[in-house]
Structure 1
Amino acid sequence: MNLNYIKPHEWKIIEEGFNKEHITASESIFSIGNGAMGQRANFEELYTGETFQGSYIGGIYYPDKTRVGWWKNGYPKYFAKVLNAPNWIGIGVTINGKSLDLSTCKVIDFKRELDMRNGVLSRSFIAEFDDGDIVKVLSTRFLSMDIQEVGAIKYSVTPINFQGEIAFSPYIDAGIMNEDANYDEFFWEILDQKETGDEAYILSKTLKTGFLVCTGMKNELILNEFNIDLEKEVSSSDKSIIYSYKTMVNSGDTFSIVKYGGYTQSMNHPDAELCNVSQRQLIKASELGFDSLLERQDKAWEKIWDTADIMISGDIKAQQAIRFNIFQLNQTYSGSDSRLNIGPKGFTGEKYGGSTYWDTEAYCIPFYMSTKNKNVAKNLLIYRYNQLDKAIENAQKLGFNKGAALYPMVTMNGEECHNEWEITFEEIHRNGAMVYAIYNYVNYTGDVGYIASHGMEVIIAIARFWSQRATFSADKEQYVILGVTGPNEYENNVNNNWYTNYLAKWCMEYAIENIELLKENYPEDYVRIAEKVTLDESEINTWSKVAGQMYFPFSEKYNIYLQQDGFLDKELIPARELPKSERPINQKWSWDRILRSPYIKQADVLQGFYFFENIFDQESLKRHFDFYEPLTVHESSLSPCVHSILAVKIDRIDKAYEMYLRTSRLDLDDYNHEVHEGLHITSMAGTWLSIVQGFGGMRNFNNSLSFDPKIPKNWKSYSFKIIYRDHIIKVFKNHEGCKFYNESDTPVNITVSGKEVTIFNKDLVIL
């Protein structure tokens, strides 16, 4: 299969020509969303070929009983899964009694476009039936960023060589099953159905979790741009409502249906009001009309792109890729609701259950706090704060006490719902990412008050976990952390993973630092928090002792920190010597063979160097990069971006560019042969990082903003904006130099390549 069929374009994702082998991949790539809901790019009309029907609603999930481990002590009983929601986009189309189905028709001039400037998905084609009838079809669809509970479709059919009867059959199908259901269960209960005029509503309730969702549709019919009224036929079942409208159409005339649809749900409205609210929203949308709703869509996305866009000149595939990544991140999370988070697949598929991972804290926070109001990133932190009690419960189940917290590897509501022991119980480095995200946010935004209002409680609970998880080794006379898995999941149950040990040390020291900060600057908050969590000086002294005596595996031979105690026992054969036929190893090798190999799934030691680059010197970074990068197979979507950023730092620009393309076009070019399952949303934030922190060299260590811009030889120039402490700074870089523009009303101090610069309000600095 051709994995590179997406046409290069600066602002659009384009597919030309109809290929059945591309259907499920394109359903992922052309997905649309608005932060509250999202859907794969399924056809509106019937398609009997292979397809993956998918519509999803933010925050709506089901605790699917796990297949293994639920009977074991400490194991999660379920895996939380985002629910495949009722389908409201469906429009059956018949031409003189024949179903329009691209799986059986001859398809000519097929074209699909996703316009990233405004989130509009369009599709056009000509279909020829067996009897020779030919129709031209155009569909346009978007999920409103302005009215987040509504989406709109305009679907038009034009007979080319005949006159005859065309029927549209818009429907709601509430009987959709999750593709990834463990026991082939249907996760919904249908409570009610309502039909009125050209509207229809189905009220559904999730089993176990009890979320209520009203799915609605409202239809309008147009013949040659004039609205018409047609009698409808109704066909209902216990899980669906289908309307059918028929009319005679002459050759060259265009018959269109505008369908408004969407969801209202019980997280946002009283149960008894859901269908009434849905009706009001759909009426509001239809009164505005498709074109006005689209104009509002344009304006909403224009505002997003104003601060989020990155412009690259001279490399159209790189330009398309970064915008695709930025676009998908904004479709997935808008930041207005602290109950929502970012699943690794977003609204594009069901793999990973749509749940929250440490990806958010490690990779996504910088993107949202640099391109949006700081409250967007703050809401991501509050999401974890609100789940602190659950994190403490998770730790208690594993034997920890005194308020120690272990945040889950995978969650919807704060409970752990991942049940692979080597990850659930051992990939505890995720706890460190929670604290690092707080540090990152406070350091970047200057919002120190967040430590007092929310952050300190989380930091203390995690420091308690680390002090209890560490073991004093009489042999080493240091503290060790045994039986863990680092970010590199190709090593399980190892001792003293350097990244994990370093994070543990840093978290405890950061806790002590912030306790002193509260005592001095927020004494009332300190007393309140200390009483609430029963904190005393002896416990703080324990953290200091454990952090100060933490063990780190080190090789004198290579003068590097070792990934874990036994890493040098492996046969260190570079990844470049692996035959292509054996890549990716996670699809070609046994797990036993992978665990005994030296190959690294994603940045591990280098992840720590990325987080704490200011602590290690340039020569140390080069040594570690040169040792570990050749052993890294980058079979995690989170790996290339970190390597790209560090490669720029040590002036390996060609390697950085290689890694940038890998992270940015991971889905567009389907590097891992898995895009049909959904997109890699959280790693898309890493693509943004690879330009802004990589080539742009942006850093924010020690409460200071700095840049060290560099440019790949493939590019003529690039530019981006960041929001920093209420300033909007535009950075432009080409091969001749760089420019910095302060779009805000007050001066801002930055450092550029070691030189301190003040950019006054509305001022341009050329360097």
Structure 2
Amino acid sequence: MPHTAHKDNAVENDIDTMRAYTPAPVPSPALDPEPWCIRERAADPARAFLHETLFTLGNGYIGMRGTPEEGHGPGRAPGGTLEGTYLNGFHDTETIHYPENAYGLARTNEFMLNVPNAKRVTVIVDGEPFTLETGTVLAYERMLDFRTGVLERRVEWESGTGKRLRIASRRLVCLERKHVAALEVAVTPLNFSGEVRILSDVDAAVTNLQAGDDPRVGSAITGPSLQLAGCEVGASDVLVLQRTRHSGFLLATATDSVLDGAEARVEPLASGHAFAFAARAGITAVLHKFIAYASSRDVDEARVASHARAELAAARAAGFDALVRAQALWLDGFWREADVVIDGDDALQQGVRFNQFHLLQSVGRDGKTNIAAKGVTGEGYEGHYFWDTEIYVFPFFLFSRPEIARALLQYRYDILPQARARARQMAHARGALFPWRTIAGEECSAYYPAGTAQYHINADVAYSIRQYLLATNDFDFIAQYGAEIVLETARIWLGLGSYDRQGRFCINEVTGPDEYTALVNNNYYTNAMARMHMTFAADMADRLRAERPDDHARVVALIGLEQAEIDAMRAASAAMRLPYDEALGIHEQDDSFLSKKRWDFAGTPADKYPLLLHYHPLVIYRHQVCKQADVVLALLLLSNEFSLDDKRRDFDYYEAVTTHDSSLSSCIFSIVAAEVGYRDKAYAYFMETARLDLDNTHANTEYGVHTAAMAGTWLGVAYGFGGMRLDEGGLRFAPTLPDRWNGYRFKVHVRGALLEVAVDAGGADYRLLAGDRLALAHHGRAFELGTGHATIRMENLA
């Protein structure tokens, strides 16, 4: 089925809805507020779909939803579960057909595929397969430990004939081995001896979730996108080869299964093996299953099968227990440098670590992939990457794992050719225009007013490169890749903008971050970020010429850069129109925003939110109403360009007209509220973000987590309560302590140092954990950490 444009005739990125206006979420009392794990103490069918998302395992490449190894029994209601395994960046394509066409509209959609379920293991007693829907569950517990990265489950079950089993399983997706996952299923008869069969196979007949008319929860494609290209069943191993229908990628799914603790008769199946053995009461038989995925998007097509087999053989040779130990060791290193500690609220502590853990599981680390809005946990937004990466997710990795941040920027460099082609389609003779939503670089937004019109994505990418340079001093990256990205994308502003009769540089017919206001002139956020972008591009070109003349010459020759363009960027930046209303003392969201009628919030029933699902886009566009932070986001990103009074007035005005119908909004309002002294509001907005997925407050986490909001939780601690800012003026903090906390701690990598900030009621301790020297400021008081002053106590919090 082709991708039809009508399904996007609503504001994009609309899966995220305001907490106050969504149906009451299904509560999860089984998830106790434990600081280092999530634990499920009962198998509740009403929560299964949600918990499949929460218990997802991933490594930035493989994502394996938390469905049981045995699958679900016949009692599972349709739509009540999603058996999903995903590979970050692995996708098929479909042609977008428009009932009414126009030049330059996006032509091809890219969508993430559900790949074969290789973890399937079925235990059969007296012909009755074990499932949670059949027989009787006598005891149950499932736990995902953030320190080990292992999903564990213990079940005691009684068959229809009264035979009792204990089944204990462990599962992991290897963080060190990109292509590998593994699981262990231990089966212990409790009250009988007799034959037990364990089936270990690959379910290759998978399809994507059908979204129907709702593009937020899946794909419009019908039927399988993977076509069988071959299947080999060996003595204990299986190799399934498939090819995508349109994108042409070859996929290999390989497994190897080993049974210990019993002498088994092994029978080949169509895509697996059956292990039949004489089970004895109290004696445990253990099946280990090793899994590898590889595709021609990752390795040469001729090597896909051999690469999967080699990864599989190496994993089996290491053994399951060794993989578990390596996983825990890898995560120990991560938490040692990235952990955020909240003293005084276990539920919040759980939420913060859960979010960090899922960000780590979802982010691509290979320079060829990014992080999707739903990570690798579900099919919402079809696996597309957005600007969420650069503005929300990137800072978390920049200050916790800078090498991952660099890889995310490398991805943008990797898709520059497609961005250049898109710029030509949009009538720009020079430069590159990054897509609004994409996987492999093509623009996939079928609704251009809320998608393609958001030109600010170019500035968002440039902003992240600027922050990367400030935080790492890695000018090698700038010389090799960053300068080309920043200069090519900055050119777009010269082609897009123009000077008005007053000599002001104006940028017309664009959409800012607020998707309830589309196709406007001089969106404040866009113009302010474009000014930053062009200034940064010009400064970087000058520095490159002075410090790296060979690289400067290479870039100039490669993109045909002229000095006149650099001069034009500086002139446009200096003359940029930044709308401001003198009477109200606020920065106008755009030229027309304040002239529109305010939305009638008092007269809008709660069941009419989110607005985009109940009102035509034009109705929304004609009103003064915001879906999410727009001007308020500029207050954060360009913090030193505004006075505290400016920020307070802007916050007050835009808070009153913002619905927060996007999960990208609350964390930004929390940070700015903390800065302007609105402590209660800062905390309330923060709490809307921190446990959004664990508590399913937007009632849609079953379709995937909200990675931007997860990263927004880290931003809320570091940028919000910690008051952290990094710009050309240096690194500074202005920490405050929420009334409900006893204290908090977080760490940041910056300029070759690892800094710990520990805040309590009396002040803050700044501790240099690694590095020789670091200059910073605390509430405006400058100081330096270094030899002899590795820890400094700063009193008198503001």
TM-score (norm 2): 0.90
Correspondence list, 1:457-472, <5 A: 457-472=484-499
Aligned mate of 1:284, from 294, 297, 314: 314
- Quote the residue 2:55 is aligned against: 30
Q: How far apart, in 2, do the equivalents of 1:299 and 1:590 lie?
A: 52
The 1:382–1:276 alpha-carbon spacing in structure 2 relative to 1, beyond 3 Å, is closer
- Quote the residue 2:158 is aligned against: 128
- Quote the residue 2:549 is aligned against: 523
Are 1:232 and 1:245, in contact at CA under 8 Å, matched by a contact in 2?
A: yes
Where 1:421 maps in the other structure, the secondary structure is coil
- Quote the residue 2:768 is aligned against: 742
**Post-superposition offset of 1:123:** 1.8
Letter in 1 for 2:363: Y
Q: How far apart, in 2, do the equivalents of 1:84 and 1:732 lie?
A: 43
**Post-superposition offset of 1:370:** 0.9
Aligned mate of 1:183, from 216, 221, 229: 221
Letter in 1 for 2:715: L
The 1:72–1:638 alpha-carbon spacing in structure 2 relative to 1, beyond 3 Å, is same
Aligned mate of 2:105, from 75, 87, 108: 75
- Quote the residue 2:432 is aligned against: 405
**Post-superposition offset of 1:313:** 1.0
Letter in 2 for 1:398: M
Aligned mate of 1:618, from 638, 644, 650: 644
Are 1:443 and 1:703, in contact at CA under 8 Å, matched by a contact in 2?
A: no
Q: How far apart, in 1, do the equivalents of 2:168 and 2:658 lie?
A: 46
- Quote the residue 1:448 is aligned against: 475
Are 1:409 and 1:423, in contact at CA under 8 Å, matched by a contact in 2?
A: no
Are 1:69 and 1:76, in contact at CA under 8 Å, matched by a contact in 2?
A: no
Are 1:640 and 1:660, in contact at CA under 8 Å, matched by a contact in 2?
A: yes
Pairing 1:253–2:283 present: yes
Pairing 1:41–2:66 present: yes
Identity between Structure 1 and Structure 2 (%): 30
**Post-superposition offset of 1:311:** 0.9
Pairing 1:386–2:414 present: yes
- Quote the residue 1:2 is aligned against: 26
Letter in 1 for 2:69: E
Deviates more, 1:281-290 or 1:350-359: 281-290
Write out per-residue CA displacement over residues 98-153 of structure 1, whole angstroms, 9 at most, x where no aligned residue. 12222233334332211111111112233334443333322211111232322111
Letter in 1 for 2:426: L
Write out per-residue CA displacement over residues 164-200 of structure 1, whole angstroms, 9 at most, x where no aligned residue. 3321111112221122443314222222211221111
- Quote the residue 2:456 is aligned against: 429
Are 1:71 and 1:77, in contact at CA under 8 Å, matched by a contact in 2?
A: no
Are 2:724 and 2:731, in contact at CA under 8 Å, matched by a contact in 1?
A: yes
Q: How far apart, in 1, do the equivalents of 2:380 and 2:222 lie?
A: 16
Pairing 1:347–2:376 present: yes
Aligned mate of 2:704, from 656, 678, 682: 678
Correspondence list, 1:474-489, <5 A: 474=501, 477-489=503-515
**Post-superposition offset of 1:703:** 5.1
- Quote the residue 1:570 is aligned against: 596
- Quote the residue 2:88 is aligned against: 58
Write out per-residue CA displacement over residues 645-694 of structure 1, whole angstroms, 9 at most, x where no aligned residue. 11111122221111222111111111111111111123322211111111
**Post-superposition offset of 1:215:** 0.9
**Post-superposition offset of 1:44:** 0.7
Pairing 1:193–2:193 present: no
Correspondence list, 1:62-461, <5 A: 62-68=92-98, 72-179=102-209, 180-222=218-260, 226=261, 228-236=262-270, 241-333=271-363, 335=365, 337-372=366-401, 374-401=402-429, 403-461=430-488
Where 2:360 maps in the other structure, the secondary structure is helix
The 1:555–1:172 alpha-carbon spacing in structure 2 relative to 1, beyond 3 Å, is same
- Quote the residue 2:667 is aligned against: 641
Are 2:432 and 2:488, in contact at CA under 8 Å, matched by a contact in 1?
A: yes
Q: How far apart, in 1, do the equivalents of 2:756 and 2:99 lie?
A: 51
- Quote the residue 2:755 is aligned against: 729
Structure 1 residues not aligned, in runs of 5+: none
The 1:448–1:17 alpha-carbon spacing in structure 2 relative to 1, beyond 3 Å, is same
Are 1:641 and 1:660, in contact at CA under 8 Å, matched by a contact in 2?
A: yes
**Post-superposition offset of 1:430:** 1.0
Deviates more, 1:265-274 or 1:144-153: 265-274
Are 1:391 and 1:408, in contact at CA under 8 Å, matched by a contact in 2?
A: yes
Letter in 1 for 2:421: E
Letter in 2 for 1:636: S
Q: How far apart, in 1, do the equivalents of 2:175 and 2:397 lie?
A: 17
Q: How far apart, in 2, do the equivalents of 1:687 and 1:575 lie?
A: 28
Where 2:450 maps in the other structure, the secondary structure is helix
The 1:584–1:133 alpha-carbon spacing in structure 2 relative to 1, beyond 3 Å, is farther
Q: How far apart, in 1, do the equivalents of 2:222 and 2:353 lie?
A: 37
The 1:334–1:310 alpha-carbon spacing in structure 2 relative to 1, beyond 3 Å, is farther
Write out per-residue CA displacement over residues 191-214 of structure 1, whole angstroms, 9 at most, x where no aligned residue. 221122111111222233332222
Are 1:660 and 1:690, in contact at CA under 8 Å, matched by a contact in 2?
A: yes
The 1:289–1:522 alpha-carbon spacing in structure 2 relative to 1, beyond 3 Å, is closer
Deviates more, 1:442-451 or 1:169-178: 442-451
Are 2:265 and 2:277, in contact at CA under 8 Å, matched by a contact in 1?
A: no
Where 1:439 maps in the other structure, the secondary structure is helix
Pairing 1:663–2:689 present: yes
* Structure with larger RCO (C-alpha < 8 A, sep 6+): 2
Structure 2 residues not aligned, in runs of 5+: 1-24, 210-217
Are 2:233 and 2:268, in contact at CA under 8 Å, matched by a contact in 1?
A: no
**Post-superposition offset of 1:81:** 1.1
Where 2:156 maps in the other structure, the secondary structure is strand
Letter in 1 for 2:686: Y
Are 1:64 and 1:181, in contact at CA under 8 Å, matched by a contact in 2?
A: no
**Post-superposition offset of 1:552:** 2.8
The 1:102–1:420 alpha-carbon spacing in structure 2 relative to 1, beyond 3 Å, is same
* Count of residue pairs the alignment pairs up: 755
The 1:2–1:356 alpha-carbon spacing in structure 2 relative to 1, beyond 3 Å, is closer
Correspondence list, 1:490-569, <5 A: 490-569=516-595
Where 1:86 maps in the other structure, the secondary structure is coil
Where 2:645 maps in the other structure, the secondary structure is helix
Are 1:93 and 1:169, in contact at CA under 8 Å, matched by a contact in 2?
A: yes
The 1:334–1:492 alpha-carbon spacing in structure 2 relative to 1, beyond 3 Å, is closer
Correspondence list, 1:710-729, <5 A: 710-729=736-755
TM-score (norm 1): 0.94
The 1:638–1:181 alpha-carbon spacing in structure 2 relative to 1, beyond 3 Å, is closer
The 1:232–1:288 alpha-carbon spacing in structure 2 relative to 1, beyond 3 Å, is same
Are 2:315 and 2:323, in contact at CA under 8 Å, matched by a contact in 1?
A: yes
The 1:424–1:287 alpha-carbon spacing in structure 2 relative to 1, beyond 3 Å, is same
**Post-superposition offset of 1:700:** 1.0
- Quote the residue 1:20 is aligned against: 45
**Post-superposition offset of 1:91:** 1.0
Aligned mate of 2:785, from 744, 748, 759: 759
